[in-house]
Amino acid sequence: MNVKRVLGIVLIAVGAVLAIFFWGLEYLWFQGGPLGLALVVIGAIDLAESFRSAERKKRAASDS
C-alpha cells in the first residue's frame, strides 16, 4: 500500500467517526458532522485517484 491510499483510508475513517459519533459536537467554529462528511468525501476522492493512477501505470507498462 502506498501513502496516498493509506491517507485516503484514514481520512474516511476519521470522517466517519466524526459524522457518526460527534455530529452535534460544537467547539467554537468546529462542528463534528459537516467536517466529518467533508473528510469522508475528500478521502474517497483521494482513494479513487490513487486507484485510477495505479491502473494507468499498469496500462502504460503493459503497452510498452
**pTM of the entire structure?**
0.78
How much is the pLDDT for 37?
93
Q: How far apart are CA 28 and CA 6, in angstroms?
A: 30
Q: Specify the 3-state DSSP secondary structure of 1.
A: coil
pLDDT score, position 44 = 95
pLDDT, tens digit, for every residue of 5-59? Answer: 999 999 999 999 989 998 888 877 778 888 999 999 999 999 999 888 767 777 7
Predicted pLDDT of residue 6: 92
More confident call, 53 vs 4: 4
Domain spans of the chain, in order of start: 3-63
pLDDT for res 24: 84
CA distances from 49 to 3, 10, 28, 34 (A): 12, 15, 33, 23
